[in-house]
Amino acid sequence: MHKVHGFCEPRFKAVEAVFQSHFTKQKEVGASFTAYLKGQRVIDLWAGHVDAKKTQAWNEDTIVNVFSTTKIMGSLCLLMLVDRGLIDLNAPVAKYWPEFGQAGKENVPVKYLLSHSSGVSGFDQKVSVQDLYDSDRMAAMLAAQKPWWKPGTKSGYQTVSFSFLIGHLVKLVSGKTLGTFFRDEIATPLGIDFHIGAPAELDPRIADVISKPVPVSWIEKSFLRVATPVTAKGILNPDPNQLVPASNTRAWRACELPSSNGHGNARSVAQVGAILASGGSFGGKKLLSSKTVEAAITRQIRGWDRVLCINMEWGLGFQLNAKTTRIGPRSFGWYGYGGSSCMMDRDLNASVAYVMNNCSNNLLTDRRAAKLFQSFRACL
């Protein structure tokens, strides 16, 4: 039996049993799971190894790339600027980013960037992983594009473009890159071990991302079988088989991609989630008003997402009411490629997070995360 470290309140022992079972039944390599309830940490577990050969243990302070779960942190940064009166969600993006106001995007409001309904869900031009490291160039590219459909009428998951839409807006308004803003305004004051742009001194604590190549032909035949060209452009540019291996490089870790390359563990992810679940506070510090949090978890758009090819309900940066991972009556959150996930609930004042290094091929809900979240809910 795999040794699980950390602690778990007695009423949640069933969650610990599920977590432990993943190492025998789900081919888990290394992972952590944390839950906060009413501002208190009630579960904090970790186990396994940081590498595929299982030579180094996953420790309490091990962190890993959580891919798109990072969008929660990116959304929080922008919402803080909204809360401070520096950004108006209903104002055109072009008010703050004049170059964006071209090619049919002159009146696209800021809220469409957060609700994935801007119509700028990816790049018209072919891009490589290395291109993503030049954020100003990527932002300029998106600013010049025509939207892929009439903004605000449909959602289309901004898989990677989210980095440069949200990141560039935060940079223009705050004067700081989003990674720096997150560090200065959230991570450091609250003692949260999460990084968007991880410095080299963190490398000894960063677990390897373990993922097998996925043939593009398989993606096209399975996930994209009901897709349009919009889906292919949104999901396959850049090539996922370049992006995932790049996540173990120093260049990837160092850059700031609020769509894709935050590094943390379940504890730090759940702590960020606890800010939102509580109505804007954590550790005695107020970051957001409850009014802004309520706006963020109010439905903005619902229906067939043109990139993900499933029905989605979006708030401002978060999926709402996910069937398989919801933990309460008003759940919201998001996921990362391979399995990392965070789900929050405003009514429960609860935040749960799961991160791991052995990736499944899921873009959305991971079976391991779903079982853990369902078990947590059953224990309440």
The DSSP string of 239-287 is -HHHHHHHTTSHHHHHS--TTT-EEE-HHHHHHHHHHHHTTSEETTEE-
Q: How far is Cα 365 from Cα 311, in angstroms, rounded to an integer?
A: 13
| Beta sheet of 64-65, edge-to-edge order | 64-65, 262-264, 195-196
| pTM, full prediction | 0.96
Nearest to 253 by CA among 132, 114, 76, 73: 132
Could you tell me the CATH number of the domain that includes residue 61?
A: 3.40.710.10
The one-letter amino acid at 164:
F
Give the Cβ contact number of residue 329 at 10 Å.
10
The amino acid that residue 223 corresponds to is: F
Q: Please give the angle made by the CA atoms of 353, 355 and 359, to the nearest 5 degrees.
A: 140
Q: Contact, 336 vs 258, CB < 8 A?
A: no
92: CB partners within 8 A, 6+ apart? 101, 106, 107, 108, 109, 110
- Count CB atoms within 10 A of the CB of residue 44: 20
Measured over all CA atoms, what is the biggest interatomic distance in the chain, rounded to whole angstroms?
59
Report pLDDT for 236: 82
Neighbours of 242 (CB within 10 A): 12
- The single residue listed with the structure tokens 């160092």 is 254
What does the chain come to in residues?
380
pLDDT of residue 198: 98
Kindly list the distances between the CA atom of residue 338 and the CA atoms of 17, 81, 193, 354, 364, in Å, as whole numbers in the listed order.
Answer: 22, 30, 21, 11, 8
Classify residue 183 by its DSSP letter: I
**Do the Cβ atoms of 296 and 71 come closer than 8 Å?**
no
- Please give the pLDDT value at position 45: 98
Query: DSSP label at 45?
Result: E
Cβ atoms of residues 28 and 22 within 8 Å: yes
Q: How many CB atoms lie within 10 A of CB 180?
A: 16
CA distance 61 to 273: 18
Cα separation of 337 and 93, whole Å?
28
Residue 96 CA from chain centroid, whole number: 24
Dihedral class, residue 237 (left if φ above 0, else alpha if ψ from -120 to 50, else beta): beta
pLDDT for 213 equals 73
Rg of the chain over Cα atoms, rounded to whole angstroms, equals: 19
Secondary structure letter of residue 189 according to DSSP:
H
Q: Which domain holds residue 94?
A: 5-379
Cα separation, 85 vs 196, whole angstroms: 24
Instruction: Please tell me the total count of domains within the chain.
Output: 1
Residue 301: which of 190, 174, 149 has the closest Cα? 149
pLDDT on residue 242: 86
Q: What pLDDT score does 119 carry?
A: 97
Task: Going residue by residue through the chain, which has 380 residues, state the pLDDT in tens, using 9 for 90 and above.
Answer: 679 999 999 999 999 999 999 998 878 999 999 999 999 999 999 999 999 999 999 999 999 999 999 999 999 999 999 999 999 999 999 999 999 999 999 999 999 999 999 999 999 999 999 999 999 999 999 999 999 999 999 999 999 999 999 999 999 999 999 999 999 999 999 999 999 999 999 999 999 999 887 665 555 555 555 556 787 788 888 988 888 889 999 999 999 999 999 999 999 999 999 999 999 999 999 999 999 999 999 999 999 999 988 899 999 999 999 988 999 999 999 999 999 999 999 999 999 999 999 998 766 778 999 999 999 999 99
Q: C-alpha distances in angstroms, 7 versus 12, 13, 227, 354, 375?
A: 10, 10, 44, 15, 16
